[in-house]
Structure 1
């Protein structure tokens, strides 16, 4: 079978080759900053240049609003800052709201079964995070809807697997099956294969050309990140930054015209201040209040003619 490539793919392959050769060379160093150096190379020379420019790339921890819990340190975080912005300590390191995070990538120099287990547990914890609904009902309450959760990936420069007796997918399945869910969505080992879970079966790509597996990972992310982002809709940043404590009501900002109403069950009389959107109308008949009386009865005005200007009663009605 003949393998076909194009000039665009050839250019990307050359970029991948340069970045990975530099990362592999760094992996042979012995000083303590090796992992950080490899991440810098992969972020600046592989993922940032090859992924679409509207994908933010960082490293750090992911936080959820409801409980404030945070993830473990994540090597590479792919996010959409138009959903919610991260708090960055430098150009790429920071704290990322889970609603904005599309993918996480754990980077391993030489992937072992222990590494897979740790990555699985990290992905499992992240899968338990709750997301702010990005839609509202007509009354302003949260509207719950389908949300694509963060997709967790493992990317390795090498692997401890040798021979043809076991694949990366089979090794990973031995960790989660039969008691758990495969929280890692894909595994990419440079020079070997790209694996992804389609929800039913593990699919692999062992290309005929150098670094096909890496291009498949880049392509897979590029094909899916927008649909993940769209599922988040428009969560409110204020939910993260505005305290729920210390709030209270002060004096009215201006005088409002009210109306006397009576409960049809208990007979209690009260003054209400109904609002009618931004309408300017005349109401002939009764005005019914949406919120019921404390006894559950219906609150209604006397029959009459009521003038409404810009959604408010134009005068007091007794």
Structure 2
């Protein structure tokens, strides 16, 4: 029986992603570099996340027509989501279908953490429906929507102590609407902040740790709440 070094496989995956992102340092136009970095992170999500999850740059909406800010990466359910709207090249995803949202920046610092927190808040403040689920045994009452994961993805970190910085911890918003629960800085490491518990990785395992911890967060969420399509369809004259 053969054997494979799983640690080496993880390290190879990380090095490939870091190489792709590092080549963007040659791009001098900030807007172009930002878009290219977002695309690289999106490619990573689409490559390595289970296929039940979709990832796109999008605006999140609710059944009343309220919208979030534009989000760099939205991780959402497509299998049980009956609709994703597109209008004038913008993608609109129902809030009920969203598992996680991420902001992508070049550098992890206090201002970018605050920016990501505000983006997360714009999604979490949207109203989400919950439809009953019909099955052979009868009807199951719709479950309350679960909290939406929010994170930030960067290449570098401004704090000298990286993920161990007290400045990083002190800049994390502690309220439920704005909290950033996971952040990856490829050069410095990854942090998680769940249930008021702060943890971090070494800088050598930044992407590996991020991938494993985010996958675990998704696993704990289970499946998104069933969307009440009639609530959205009430905007139509015929409903």
Aligned-pair distance for 1:78?
0.9
**1:169–1:202 contact (8 Å) kept in structure 2:** no
RMSD: 3.1
Larger radius of gyration: 1
**1:102–1:150 contact (8 Å) kept in structure 2:** yes
Partner of 1:296: none
Note the residue ranges of structure 1 that are not aligned, 5 or more in a row: 1-5, 248-318
Partner of 2:80: 83
SS at match of 2:100: strand
Partner of 2:193: 197
Change (3 A) 1:168 1:48: farther
- Separation in 2, partners of 1:244, 1:152: 32
Aligned-pair distance for 1:246?
5.4
Change (3 A) 1:174 1:227: closer
**2:110–2:171 contact (8 Å) kept in structure 1:** no
Q: String of CA shifts for 1:107-132, please: whole Å, max 9, x gaps.
A: 11112211111111111222222211
* 2:239 pairs with 1:241: no
Structure with the bigger RCO (C-alpha within 8 Å, sep 6+) is: 2
Aligned-pair distance for 1:242?
4.4
Aligned-pair distance for 1:39?
1.5
Aligned-pair distance for 1:157?
0.4
- Separation in 1, partners of 2:219, 2:237: 36
Partner of 2:217: 224
SS at match of 2:199: strand
Q: String of CA shifts for 1:152-178, please: whole Å, max 9, x gaps.
A: 0111100111247x845643533535x
Note the residue ranges of structure 2 that are not aligned, 5 or more in a row: none
SS at match of 1:176: coil
User: Which of 36, 48, 54 is the equivalent residue of 2:52?
Assistant: 54
Aligned-pair distance for 1:79?
0.9
- Separation in 2, partners of 1:14, 1:169: 31
More helix by share: 2
The TM-score, its normalising length taken from structure 2, stands at: 0.82
Partner of 1:115: 112
What is the correspondence of 1:2-151 to structure 2 with a 5 Å cutoff? 7-31=5-29, 32-44=31-43, 46-65=44-63, 67-84=64-81, 85-88=83-86, 94-135=91-132, 143=141, 145-151=143-149
Give the length in aligned residue pairs. 231
- Separation in 2, partners of 1:77, 1:214: 18
What is the correspondence of 1:203-282 to structure 2 with a 5 Å cutoff? 203-206=199-202, 210=204, 212-230=205-223, 232-243=224-235, 245=237
Q: String of CA shifts for 1:174-203, please: whole Å, max 9, x gaps.
A: 3535xx445211121113222112203212
SS at match of 2:12: helix
Aligned-pair distance for 1:102?
0.6
- Separation in 2, partners of 1:15, 1:204: 19
